[in-house]
Amino acid sequence: MEELLGHHRLQSKTTRDYHLVFGENRIEINSAGSSLSYKRHTGSVLAAEAMIVSNEDPVIIGVFPSPPLFTPTAVAKNLYLNFRTPVVIDQRSQAVVYAKMPIEIGIYRQSKDEEMLVDAFSRTRQQYALYGSPESGVVCRYTETEISTNKYDIKPVKYEEAQVRIRIKNDIDNVVKVSKVIVPMDGVVLDHAHDDAWLPGSVEMDLNTSFSKDVVQVRLSTKVKRLDKTSTRVKNEETLVFLMDAGY
């Protein structure tokens, strides 16, 4: 089976009936004189279209797994992972678990110097939740996920999910039960191979005590805002931080 994720090199003057199918989402790209016509149908409905005009030939279209931030609109920058099975961790110890996160499919117009997001869609229904109080809480993309200490037990659905590694470090003098984690996602680039997707790096969830109050810091050291989205060639990294001050 031909892989859908990656670079697609298209001739701007000769491309005819170039199709990419992701379930109900059907992408059609055709030559339209000196440009390319891009259309995405969801079922029988035209969901997105664009005209791509370029002096380059071939024109490079990138199709990549993207963080779940763009559909239906960009309303959240964080991901709320709710564990179906809570993790109980001894005091002064740590555990590594694996989970799944929802993804979107991003369609990019790429060149040597820049790229632009042309379209983004999700094969699954989007859910959102408020983390924190109604007055000061944060709206997050929400999902429930199974977890396991064995990464091979977690099998994300192609084009819908990616695998996430989470290290939970408990520096509190009590046994704790962790049922959720908020992961910062702004600008994150997902990796992929053979159309499987995963979040590069590790989500680091550190539980500590300060002034008799539990403090939970979530750090994600990962690639962000990378021009080349095809693999792991570029090593640009940034650390994103979220403080879970409303409980875990």
pLDDT digits (tens, 9 = 90+) for 161-208: 999 999 999 999 999 999 999 999 988 999 999 999 999 988 999 999
Average pLDDT on 91-102 reads: 96
Average pLDDT on 15-31 reads: 92
Return the minimum-mean-pLDDT range out of 136-150, 197-211, 213-227: 213-227
Residue 90 — φ and ψ, nearest 5°? -65, 160
Task: Please determine, for residue 151, whether its predicted confidence score (pLDDT) is greater than 90.
Answer: yes
Average pLDDT on 81-90 reads: 96
Model pLDDT, residue 238? 81
Q: Determine what percent of the chain is predicted with pLDDT higher than 90.
A: 65
Q: How far is it, in rounded angstroms, from Cα 38 to Cα 114?
A: 19
Between 235 and 191, the more confident residue is 191
**Residue labelled with tokens 């910062």:** 184
> Peptide bond preceding 102: is omega within 30 degrees of 0, i.e. cis?
no
Cβ proximity of 207 and 176 under 8 Å = yes
Distance linking the first and last C-alpha atoms of the chain: 42
Q: How far is it, in rounded angstroms, from Cα 244 to Cα 239?
A: 16
The pLDDT mean for the chain works out to 89
Between 92 and 110, the more confident residue is 92
pTM of the model: 0.89
Task: Please determine, for residue 83, whether its predicted confidence score (pLDDT) is greater than 90.
Answer: yes
Two tokens, residue 209:
């005590």
